[in-house]
Structures are given as C-alpha cells and as structure tokens.
Amino acid sequence: GWSSAQQFNCPEKNGFFPDPVQCDLYYHCTKGVAEEKLCPDGLLFDDSNPSHERCDTSVNVDCGDRTEL
C-alpha cells in the first residue's frame, strides 16, 4: 500500500530502486515520488542498473542485505 511507499526516500528523482529489506519489492521513482512495485512470483529485483526495471531469477540476483521475500 501507500504507507511503505511514502516512507521510501528516492535516492534519485527518477529510476528503479530496491526495497531495503525485501528482495522482490522495488520502487519506481518519478520526479522524486516513489511507486511501490512487486516482481512476479519467483523473481527478484535486479538492482544493478537504476534506469532499468528488471526482475530475474535468484540465480542471477544478489540480494545482499535484502533478505526478506
């Protein structure tokens, strides 16, 4: 819902950014406003390039500290 998206601070005005803890959750920032997005079932958000919206399999995504699914 909106509550968690409002708490997310966009590191840049525009782009796709990972949730700090949940690996399949990410945010699409437009002019500094975050919209919460969720990867399809079984896929995780690839945060390697903020300008691309990309979900991939766990084999290809390093979640790092984003341990929740």
The reply to whether 52 falls in a domain is: no
Average pLDDT of the residues in 4-23: 88
Asked if the model's pLDDT at residue 1 lies above 70, the reply is no
- What's the domain count of the chain? 1
22-57 pLDDT per residue, tens: 999 999 999 999 999 999 999 999 999 999 999 999
Is-contact 46 56, C-beta < 8 A?
Answer: yes
Q: Rounded to two decimals, what is the model's pTM?
A: 0.87
The reply to whether 67 falls in a domain is: no
How many other C-beta atoms lie within 10 A of the C-beta of residue 39? Answer: 20
Can you tell me the distance from the alpha carbon of 37 to that of 60, in angstroms, rounded to the nearest whole number? Answer: 19
3-state secondary structure 15-53: EEEECCCECCEEEEEECCEEEEEECCCCCEECCCCCCCC
Can you tell me the distance from the alpha carbon of 27 to that of 47, in angstroms, rounded to the nearest whole number? Answer: 11
Give the domain extent around 33.
2-47
